[in-house]
Structures are given as C-alpha cells and as structure tokens.
Amino acid sequence: MFWDDLLTTERPEGHILWPVADATGRYTGMAATDGSVSELRPFYSGQHPVDALNLMAELHTDSLAVVDQDMQLLGGLSAARLSQWMGAQWCFELPGSSVWLRGPHTVSGTWIQALEEEGYRVVALATDYDATAAQFGTWIRLDQPDPTAAVETLERLGATVLGAYPPGRRHDDAQDNLDHLIHYLNL
C-alpha cells in the first residue's frame, strides 16, 4: 500500500502540528511544538490520498495523523510528501484520454477508486469552481486511450459528463446505430 512510502513517525522540520499516540499506540491528537495537544480528526488508512488533501484543507493544516480502523496511529502524513508522491504516481505526461465533468461536487477519492477498479489510472486532475453557477468544472486525464468505461462509471456514480476525448467505443457504437437507422429509413 502507498502508506508505507508516505508515513513518518518523526516530525518534519517546519511542521507546527504532528500526531502523537498514547503508550498503546492509540492516536490521541496533534501535538504542537510547544507540547499542547489538539484533538483533530485523523485520516483513515483505507481512504484515498485525494481525500487526505481535502481533509488537510478542511482542517487548515499541512499534516495529518493516519490511523487504522482501531485508531492505532500508523504515522504522520505531510502535505509536501503527499504532493511529491502524487506527482510521481500520477505523471502528467502520459498519453491517454480526457473526461470533462460539471456538477455541484468535485471529484472524490471514491470516484477515483472506481476508475482505478475499471483499470484506469488518473494521471492528472484539475478542478475549477464557478461561484455564479455554484458548480465545479473538473478535467480528468486518464492513462487509457478509450475513455468509454470511465465515462460510464462516472455517470453511474452520478457525475454529469460533458465530454470525453478521444471519442472511444461509445462514439463508434452511436455512429453504427445511426448508420443502421439511416439504412432502415432508406428502405
């Protein structure tokens, strides 16, 4: 699992908060450099790393405690280390396909996991928020040249897919159906 490469037990230089545990290894909170402990929500090891970035933004912190389902502290996760890992894993120069989405929510780790289960790897992701429309616009770059299964998966999860490139199998099927219909109408 990717946590093995990311988690550390020692506070990186410059981090004000870092997770601490009691004698049994159970997470107790985030300790400041002055020794005070704040009870901040931890991040569970079964979640996707994109959700870790969302939690960091929500808590206004640059580090998180990563725990297992029993609240045992696995280690600390810094935003810098997570960003470096994401950049290495989701290289922005791989060939593939793109999908455009629009909706009231941005892409979650659950959606990315669903894409990965379909055999896709997300190599880039960009999101922009339109305040006047109260909508997120999201662009996803995938490592596979045919985005058809990814589009179907995202639509099944409730995403509004605006488009995909290259057209893929779905476009070819639509063209075949149109040709068949035109042939039938000409009879």
Domains present along the chain, CATH in parentheses: 3-87 (3.10.580.10), 91-173 (3.30.70.260)
**How many C-beta atoms lie closer than 10 Å to residue 51's C-beta?**
16
Q: Give the global pTM.
A: 0.52
The helix (H) or strand (E) run that includes residue 3 is helix 3-6
The number of helices, as runs of H, and strands, as runs of E, in the chain is 6, 10
Cβ(109)–Cβ(51) under 8 Å?
Answer: yes
Whether 142 contacts 123, CB under 8 Å: yes
pLDDT tens-place values along the chain, 187 residues long: 466 677 878 888 888 899 999 999 999 999 998 989 999 999 998 887 778 888 888 888 889 999 999 999 999 998 888 877 776 655 545 578 888 898 887 788 888 999 999 899 888 888 877 778 788 888 888 988 889 999 999 999 988 898 888 776 544 555 656 666 676 677 6
**Which residue, 178, 179, 185, 149, is CA-closest to 164?**
149
